[in-house]
Amino acid sequence: MSESLPTDTTGDDLANSLRAIADGSPLVQHLTNEVTMNDVANLTLHWDALPVMADSPGDAGEMANGASAILLNTGQVPETKVEAMHEAAETAAERDVPIILDPVGVGATPTREGVAEELLEAVDFSVIKGNYGEISALAGVEAEVKGVESVGEYEEIEDAAQSLAESTGATVVTSGVEDVVATANGAVRLSVGHEMLGEVVGTGCMLGATIASFRGALEDAETAAVHGTLAFGIAGELAAEMPHEGPASYRTNFHDAVAGFSATQAAELDLAGRVERVA
């Protein structure tokens, strides 16, 4: 783990991270929900990583033996999937494979909160990624989550993210109007993305897959979190520039934007002002 978050990221830095994914073809194992599974798998592939959706007891632990990163998504929490999550995490810990948590819907029901609490007690997560409400709920501060959506005001979200990072040792990515990436030592705000991302079901899950893809190729969790979130947001902006009639065509544009987001294109980006230290 590095000592600080990368606040001076350049287009060349982001290009190097994209090349690392393309060169390494990391296998990213997803234990996720069925609602967004296809989008998550495709987006992982579009980032040049390899997706696998091994999420049943037995198979999950066996597949983790070959994974470069593992994403646990609590969008659906039947007992067998939760069992498989713990099984995959145990194997990953033995092999020092980074594990990413996407606590979907935590704060909405006691069941999801219980699943997340058990995972946090049992697993050392490399990155935790959630929306403002989910991260606030995990941090133990007031939050309002309806279904899987964050509602309400979160004026101190940077403090909540940093508190969760301090208590878990993970790098925390908080997605919202502006994204926040935090460690126990500080936090940065990322000014990227487009409002249309909020009109498509599953973009939060796809951000989790993006961060897992970057983490599977990069040794540093903070760099993977910042670069993955930057790349995701920029792809969202590029998708909005393509012709679209509404959310459905924008969703297609977004997948195409990610698939076409090359290292050469990234190297030409001016990222000045896109990452700002806030804590």
Closest CA to 76 of 92, 53, 58: 53
Q: Rounded distance, CA 270 to CA 36, Å? A: 32
Amino acid at position 250, single letter: Y
Output the six-digit token pair for 254. 């977004």
Query: What dihedral do alpha carbons 56, 57, 62, 68 form, nearest 10°?
Result: 60
Query: Would the annotation count 202 as a binding residue?
Result: yes
Task: Kindly report the number of other CB atoms within 10 A of residue 185's CB atom.
Answer: 15
What lies within 8 Å, CB to CB, of 171 at 6+ separation is 126, 127, 128, 165, 181, 182, 183, 221, 222, 224, 225
Query: What are the phi and psi torsion angles at 180 (to 5°)?
Result: -125, 130
Query: Would the annotation count 81 as a binding residue?
Result: no
Find the distance separating the first CA and the last CA of the chain, reported in whole Å: 19
Residue set of the binding site for substrate: 53, 202
Residues belonging to the binding site are 53, 129, 175, 202
- Could you tell me which residues are annotated as the binding site for ATP? 129, 175
